[in-house]
């Protein structure tokens, strides 16, 4: 992990992100109404994505679960593509690649769980938040200092922009 | 504590869990509406239970309190049995043993409070999250590194599966 | 602080508590509806108060603010007396003393803020959670290891019960 | 940072504050209803602002975003001026200066983000909470020990009042 020698940051065009534990802190709040009503996000990630957009990056969320709160957050963040209830994240990635005419070297993926490993192994630049499970932290190119829902996504976007001398 | 020598992990078939402080972080959020509306759970526990189920483990929640949020979470996690407002946890355990034709060696229990001690003393494999009260931490076979509602349950399920070479 | 030599624990009959920062973690959550809807409490405090009640202790909340969530929590905890919007905490204390025929030596008060100092200076046993402001931490007999809304009240009740050999 | 030699605390009359990450902890909670419903504030900041008001300080919130929860919190705190969706914070500051007949030396600003830098560079006393981004922490006169939404604002107000021997 944290081996950035093989990463050609100038080629990254698309940042793919898992939702729970990456854009959130991995907690889910249930109300007495019976809905998984509340998710905890970070304003720091929001500004990171906004700045990434301004510098031409695109963003997708690929989540194995679904929640209405996710959709609202994705809309607010102007996320380019949102996959929910996604059973095969590599298939979603292949779809995005095809749709945008991109290749492996154009992708970064940020994931935290066992089921993120197949896609993490596909993309050029694989990342995890500090709270990822050990198997993921051992497999990725970069483990963020910050946790999911607490600025990990912002940290990774800023790293990409900084490596390209954009900020 | 943390004495795993006497545990025959191959026999564990049922993981019993307390709710507050084990599947949640022990906080309860009250709204102005007067209901204990919100409980804080972890997606990491969710995936741990899902993977445990796939490997044949069964799960019960035995809670001394009750809350609608608990029921919703239990349903989402496909928990096999849910006891709420349970005044005698050992009696609930005996019921489960009878119903499923199991014995002491087939059970793990995860608890964090004084009133969890009687059941913790019954089962073969007794566990506590990092935030358990001292009396419980001193009494159990295994104290998780993680806290309740922050992955302690996942850690214990993964330990069981790893000891059985299933993951 | 943390000078327990002058405390006659056998005399304590009433535990007075501030609300925000003592029974809560000092956060207030506002919704878009415009109400201070949500407060964060701890189940550990709940069990501490329940056990204190069983051993004959009485409990009052004396809060300088008010919130509906507080009332619901106070009812759930079976708090004996609740003062809200209380501008003069010493006056409330005098009322309680009169009503229950008690004297200074029968009282513990747990507070965290500047405006708690007058009452903290009145009672025999003055306490603060770990998150109290410095001026309060320097003035009280006992500073809890735990924070408000995370078990500080439980820790103090358990200390009282333990000093009296009740647990 | 933390160079207080050039600050004439006796001149400070107005404390300007960013909202997210300063008066809140930078988290935003989304519900399934689709609204950014909940923000997390600190009661410690509330009492700090109240005490600041009593000693003649004025307070403004200048936020680049907007949320109904912010308005409710601002009203509760009796904030003198609230700017939301503010694209040019320096312009807002100039407006306040004009309206109240004040000058640069009368202002403190507390911000945590890149887009707070222009205004932080304008005022006499620039501050940041502990959770501010690195670029901001390097640029300001004072970095609080506490985090936004956890008492950073209170800490800075108390510092101003203490330097003026008011508390």
Domains of chain A: 9-163 (3.40.50.1000)
| Alpha-carbon gap, residue C136 to C107, rounded angstroms | 17
B43: which chain A residues are within 8 Å (Cβ-Cβ)?
20-21, 26-28, 65
pLDDT at D34: 66
C-chain CB neighbours of D40 within 8 Å are 27-29
In tens, the pLDDT along B28-76 reads 998 877 665 689 999 999 999 999 999 999 999 999 999 888 999 999 9
Mean pLDDT of chain C: 94
In chain B, what residues touch A21 (CB-CB under 8 Å)?
43-44
Among candidate residues C39, C33, C20, C46, the one with its CA nearest the CA of residue C110: C20
Question: For residue B101, what pLDDT is reported?
Answer: 98
Using CB atoms, pick whichever of D43, D68, D150 lies closest to residue C28: D43
Is residue B128 predicted with pLDDT exceeding 60?
yes
C68 CB burial (10 A radius; 0-12, 13-18, 19+): middle
Q: What are phi and psi of A129, to 5 degrees?
A: -75, 165
CB A51 within 8 A of CB A167: yes
The contacts found for D34-38 with CB under 8 angstroms, 24 or more apart, are D34/A68, D34/A69, D34/A71, D34/A72, D35/A72, D35/C32, D35/D68, D36/A72, D36/A76, D36/C32, D36/D67, D36/D69, D37/A38, D37/C31, D37/C32, D37/C33, D37/D69, D38/A38, D38/C29, D38/C30, D38/C31, D38/C37, D38/C38, D38/D69
The per-residue pLDDT of chain A, averaged, comes to 94
User: What pLDDT is recorded for position A127?
Assistant: 98
- Show the CA angle centred on residue C66, arms to residues C63 and C71, nearest 5°: 90
Antiparallel, parallel or unpaired: β B107-110 and B81-83: unpaired
The answer to whether D123 contacts chain C (CB < 8 Å) is: no
| Closest-CA residue of chain A to B44 | A26
What pLDDT score was predicted for residue A2? 66
Q: Cβ C69–B36 below 8 Å, yes or no? A: no
In whole angstroms, give the CA distance from residue B48 to residue B50: 5
Write the CA distances from B126 to A70, B110, B163, C124, integer angstroms.
Answer: 37, 6, 15, 41
Contact flag A32-B29 (C-beta cutoff 8 Å): no
Q: Chain D within 8 Å of A36 (Cβ-Cβ)?
A: yes
Q: What is the DSSP letter of D87?
A: S
Q: Which of A121-125, B5-9, C36-40, C129-133 has the lowest mean pLDDT?
A: C36-40
C contacts of D39 (beta carbons < 8 Å): 29-30
Is any Cβ of chain C less than 8 angstroms from the Cβ of D67?
Answer: yes
The number of beta carbons lying within 10 Å of the beta carbon of residue A162 is 11
**What span, in angstroms and rounded, lies between the C-alpha atoms of C91 and B77?**
51
Rounded mean pLDDT of D103-112?
98
Position A35 scores a pLDDT of: 64
Q: Are B72 and A115 an interchain contact pair (Cβ–Cβ within 8 Å)?
A: no
Tell me the C-alpha distance between D134 and B153, whole Å: 36
């Amino acid at each position: 992990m944290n081996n950035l020698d093989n990463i050609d940051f100038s080629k990254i065009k698309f940042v793919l992100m898992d939702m729970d534990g990456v854009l959130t802190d991995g907690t889910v709040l249930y109300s007495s109404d019976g809905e998984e009503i509340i998710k905890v996000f970070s304003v720091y990630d929001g500004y990171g994505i906004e700045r990434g957009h301004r510098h031409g990056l695109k963003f997708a969320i690929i989540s194995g679960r679904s929640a209405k709160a996710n959709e609202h957050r994705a809309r607010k963040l102007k996320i380019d593509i949102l996959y929910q209830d996604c059973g095969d994240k590599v298939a979603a990635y292949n779809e995005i690649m095809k749709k945008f005419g991109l290749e492996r070297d154009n992708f970064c993926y940020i994931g935290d769980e066992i089921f993120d490993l197949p896609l993490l192994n596909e993309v050029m630049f694989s990342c995890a938040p500090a709270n990822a499970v050990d198997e993921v932290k051992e497999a990725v190119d970069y483990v963020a200092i910050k946790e999911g829902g607490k600025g990990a996504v912002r940290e990774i976007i800023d790293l990409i922009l900084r490596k390209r001398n954009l900020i």
